Structure 1
Amino acid sequence: MSEILGVIDPIAVRFLGIKVHWYGVIIGLAIMLALYLAVSEGKRQGLRPDDFYDYLLYALPIALICARIYYVIFQWDYYKRFPAEIYRIWDGGIAIYGGLLGALLVLVIFCKKRQLSPWLFLDVIAPTVILAQGIGRWGNFINQEAHGEAVSRIFLVQMHLPNFIIEQMNIGGTYYQPTFLYESVWDILGFLVLILLRHRKKLFKQGEIFLTYVAWYSFGRFFIEGMRTDSLMLLGLRVSQWLSVILFIGALSTIIYRRLNNKHLPWYLVVQKDDDQA
């Protein structure tokens, strides 16, 4: 960290010409924590640890590719002129929604091959995914990206933010809205809500923890995305806002539809026989 400028160096380690970015370190730690928590909860639900390890091996590269494809599609005016840069993912340009959609596609195929319930698998990992998203936003913070419009330093001070956040939001002499922080807080709050509620008896049917995650995340993302200055645009509205609306409505509609049309949906805690006997 630079004590003079108060700005965090985005490079965590330099060794023999190799640079390890804080962004990668933070994302890696977030994934490891999410995997640990998913495995722990999976055991309670009768799922094997190997199911989560194997799924991650397939999902990570596909999610990364899809996150890049998503970004390139909505920046096609640029990349059609510079097609050689499409593959330069190390220069930045990935979209979380693309990654999540790619990981979801892999999960459906994976669960079908393993003869697992995709709804149950999604319920187990959903809280850990939103936690990882919340932690991952701090990688954006260190890279000084995913921020909002210019604000005054006084504005940030009045938010009672620690000085290291205020100074990191000073980019080229201008202070910016810390939208990375808003989303991180929203995501971590969503994680806490989900883990505090998911073990309540007869609250969630299978699939509804995941659908609640989708609704929670997309609701907050819609408003936070509206504050950002680096958004992909479509028809005058930010792409992520369009998708947030679709996902929010879709998640709530799916919960209602499944409840009304399938009276025999299993509860999320159906396999917890000890709890039922107690």
Structure 2
Amino acid sequence: MERSANLVDSFVKMNTKLTRLRQHTRKLVREENAMIEGNEGSCYLHTEESDEVKIEKSSCPECQGIPDAGKKVPHISDLCSADKQRIAELVKTLAECTQEKHKLEDELSVCKSENEALQDRFQLRTSEYEADKDRLKSKLSNVTTEMAKLKIQTSQSLELLTRQFSMQESQFTKLTETVRDLLGEKMQLQNILIEREMKVSVAEAKLERMKESMEMEKLIFLKEHAKNVTQRFDKSCQVSPSCQTVITLPSYCQTPSVDRTNSKKDLPRTRQTKNKDDLEAPTTEGLLLRELFYKSSNEPEVLNIFPILPQH
């Protein structure tokens, strides 16, 4: 479309140039003719005059030399010099008017050609405008359709987003409540764990104290029992020549140094021994001594003492 418009513009310009060139050529021809007329002067007027009245002369009897006394016909020779001068001026004015007429005709032709070119250009512009208008209308309709589709999609997307936001909000609320419950349970479990650790530490402390007290009671019991056994053994011990076994009390069964000193003052300074056959008698003291000092190698050396723990 732009190329055709450019071609029309160039055509209009060339046509205008040609018309102006033609007009300028005619103007030059007229100026040349005017110069020729100015040089010839009255001869040109006379020639023009004779050419114009040539037909009248052929029909005029006086111009032909035939007198007609009965009829009087007006003749150019009857005119005075002033009338002839006026006629010559009128002829000159007529020539100028004719030149102006030709000039105006040339300008009119130029204007007509320009008008035709402008009309063609206007038609082309109008057709282009109509084509652009139709194209824009179709484009507008397509855009309107697309906008309607986009509006529908946007509304659907907004509804979907609204539903998703509501669902996410409810899920977030549930998640918040769950996290709060979990935190509460965690705090409760931590408190329970702390209480249990405290109870365990208290129980361990109690158990340690109980163990220590049991050990002390055990040691005291063994010490007292060994002391009683030693005293009974000292009282019932007799010296026998066939006795080959010497009983030596362990260190934990010995009495304190003060007691031993006191007992040594009362007892004679002799080694006390006892026969193994005498210990085999089924007496309480013999059984106790057998358990304490004459256990077999297969049996464990430590006495099985089962303490009874106090119930809490």
The TM-score range, normalised by the shorter chain, is: under 0.3
Q: Larger radius of gyration, structure 1 or 2?
A: 2
Instruction: Report the TM-score when normalising by structure 2.
Output: 0.20
- Bigger relative contact order, structure 1 or 2, given CA contacts below 8 A and separation 6+? 1
Larger strand share, 1 or 2: 1
